[in-house]
Amino acid sequence: MTYHSIVACKTLPPPDCSDGLVPYASAHLDGAVSELLVRSGHSVQETPEALHEMRRILHLHLEEP
Q: By the 8 A CB rule, do 8 and 38 touch?
A: yes
pTM of the model: 0.87
pLDDT of the residue at 20 = 94
**DSSP annotation string for 35-49:** EEEEE--S-GGGSHH
| Phi, psi (deg, nearest 5) at residue 22 | -115, 125
pLDDT tens-digit readout, 17-57? 999 999 999 999 999 999 999 999 999 999 999 999 999 99
Q: By the 8 A CB rule, do 38 and 9 touch?
A: yes
- Cis preceding-peptide flag for 13 (omega within 30 of 0): yes
Chain centroid to Cα 45, Å, comes to 9
pLDDT of the residue at 1 = 87
Q: Where are the domains of the chain?
A: 5-63
